[in-house]
Amino acid sequence: MADSDHLSALREMWRREVEAAGTYRLLAERETDKRRRDILTRLAECEDRHAAKWSTRIQAVAGQPPDASTVRSSLRWIERFADQNVILHRLEQEESRIEDDYEKMIWRLKDPEDKRIAKEAMDEERDHATTLRMLAGPAPTPRSLLDSILRRERWHVRGTGWIGDAIYGVNDGLGAVFGIVSGMAGYTGGSEVVLAAGLAGTMASALSMGAGAYLASKSEREVYESEVARERKEIQEDPQEERLELELFYQLKGLSPEEAVAMTRRLENEPKQFLRALVHEELGLSEENFPNPIKSTISAGLSTAIGGFIPIIPFFFTVGMPAVIASFVISTIAHFAVGASKALITTRPWWASGTEMTIVGILEAAITYGLGMAFAG
């Protein structure tokens, strides 16, 4: 490489490092979370060290060091008002590109010292890209935001255990069969057909909910096993990156860098625990939290059957309008009781949940009863 080309390459690498250091400091100043701010500050200090090494090499070639005051942050003024995580994603892409540039540059450099500096910087730029990805989290697309919301809701409901499953099972069974009974009552005037239709609806709802619960819990375990296999492969291919990810997770949870490193090193000595920790921290998955498929099936199916059985109880003893009225009364009371019981697994007042559920049940009965009468007419 000619001296002029050599010097130009050194200056380009130096400029990028100075520019990156300024950008990280700007982001650190904007960051309100101390732990994230400390990580960004450490990234800036690392870029300063890279820049200092390149500055020394430039001075050796050109006779004088470059002037850092001539370099500005790569953030344009409009980006300073953008979402911090969006900028972090952009910087992650930039770090990956710089890593590629370093890799190309290594093959062109003749001086062993320059090669050594470039190789060290390239390895650290790879770590920086990982750090930025962890800080930014998933790319902020509408789909990812929706998945995040659904994931939080799913894990919240799972945490309520069989009580939550039972409440929602009764709710589904009661709502579905109450609608069937109301519609058939409007169509037949409350004949024996209502009982047959209600029993059939109860059985169908219970079987459907039980099968759905079984398949859902089985699918969750399959997804977990698939993610474990993927993480295991990533550990084998790039253990340094996975180790850094876990260290960052612990730092973001409040551990000091030294404590995070020590914790990760201890886990690394136990490969199975290291893998489980990565899956749990990165994906929010834990094998202990998965419901038992058999228990889920029984809980969902039985509770749905109980809920569906309530509206048809009067039709075992009488028919006609008395049965219809009695079914409406006990079903309305049951709707309030089920709605109120949701307070066990939500933060809403019991009376608000109960009233809401009652109104929904009455509207459902009115609509289906009206449809039944319309078809009868």
* Interval 236-281: pLDDT, tens: 877 877 887 788 777 777 778 888 888 888 888 888 888 888 777 7
Euclidean distance between CA atoms 336 and 340, whole angstroms: 6
Identify residue 250 by its one-letter amino acid code. Answer: Y
Specify whether 337 is located in the same domain as 190. Answer: yes
Better-scored residue on pLDDT, 55 or 167 = 55
Co-location of 283 and 319 in the same domain: yes
Q: Is the pLDDT of residue 161 over 60?
A: no
* Model confidence at 231: pLDDT above 70: yes
Q: Please say if the pLDDT value at position 370 is more than 80.
A: yes
Asked, for residue 145, whether it belongs to a domain, the answer is: no
In this predicted structure, the answer to whether residue 128 has a pLDDT above a threshold of 50 is yes
pLDDT at residue 43 greater than cutoff 50: yes
Query: Distance (Å, rounded) from C-alpha 253 to C-alpha 281?
Result: 10
Least confident of 88-92, 184-188, 337-341: 88-92
Predicted confidence band of residue 158 (pLDDT cuts 50, 70, 90): very low
Query: For residue 126, what pLDDT band results from cuts at 50, 70 and 90?
Result: confident
Q: Any idea what the CATH number is for the domain that residue 41 is in?
A: 1.20.1260.10
Average pLDDT of span 41-63: 87
Domain co-membership, 227 together with 315: yes
User: Residue 24 — very low, low, confident or very high, per pLDDT cuts 50/70/90?
Assistant: confident
On the 0-12 / 13-18 / 19+ scale of CB atoms within 10 A, 63 is exposed
Supply φ then ψ for residue 254, to 5 degrees.
120, -5
Task: Give a yes or no: residue 152 inside a domain.
Answer: no
- 175 in the same domain as 49: no
Query: Is 342 within a domain?
Result: yes
Q: What is the pTM of this model?
A: 0.53
Same domain for 121 and 31, yes or no, is: yes
- 98-119, pLDDT tens digit by residue? 777 777 777 777 778 888 888 8
Query: Are 99 and 174 in the same domain?
Result: no
CA neighbor of 36 nearest in space, from 142, 137, 157: 137
- pLDDT tens digit sequence for 310-339: 999 999 999 999 999 999 999 999 999 998
Q: Both 126 and 189 in a single domain? A: no
Domain membership flag for residue 167:
yes
Residue 291 has pLDDT above 80, yes or no: no
Same-domain check for residues 97 and 178: no
Q: Do the domain assignments include residue 99?
A: yes
Are 194 and 185 within 8 A, CB to CB? yes
Alpha helix locations (H) across 310-349? 320-341
185 within domain boundaries: yes
Quote the number of domains for the chain: 2
**Percentage above 90 pLDDT, the chain:** 24
Does residue 302 register a pLDDT over 90? Answer: yes
Percent of the chain scoring above 70 in pLDDT? 82
Does 147 fall in a domain? no
Task: Specify the pLDDT at position 318.
Answer: 92
Signed CA dihedral, 72, 76, 80, 84: sign only: negative
Q: How many Cβ atoms are within 10 Å of 332's Cβ, its own excluded?
A: 18
- pLDDT attached to residue 1: 45
Mean predicted lDDT score pLDDT of the chain: 80
Q: Let me know whether 179 and 264 are in one domain.
A: yes
pLDDT of residue 78: 43
User: Quick one: pLDDT at residue 75?
Assistant: 56
- Residue (of 258, 77, 286, 295) closest to 165 by Cα position: 295
- Under 8 Å CB-to-CB from 194, ≥6 apart: which residues? 181, 184, 185, 188, 312, 315, 319, 323, 324
Is there a domain that residue 254 lies in?
Answer: yes
* pLDDT for 309: 96
**What spatial distance separates the first Cα and last Cα of the chain, rounded to whole Å?**
94
Which range is least confidently modeled, 1-10, 158-167, 258-267? 158-167
Question: Residue 58 corresponds to which tokens in the numbers above?
Answer: 């430039």
Residue 67 CA to residue 51 CA, distance in Å, equals: 11
Cα 56 to chain center, whole Å? 45
Q: What is the pLDDT of residue 345?
A: 67
**Average of pLDDT values for 9-29?**
84
Question: What pLDDT band is residue 355 in, cutting at 50, 70 and 90?
Answer: very high
The reply to whether 198 and 308 lie within a common domain is yes
Same domain, 170 and 124: no
Range of the structural domain that residue 11 is part of: 3-136
pLDDT average, residue stretch 5-11 = 80
Are 109 and 189 members of one domain?
no
Q: pLDDT-based confidence at 308, cuts 50/70/90? A: very high
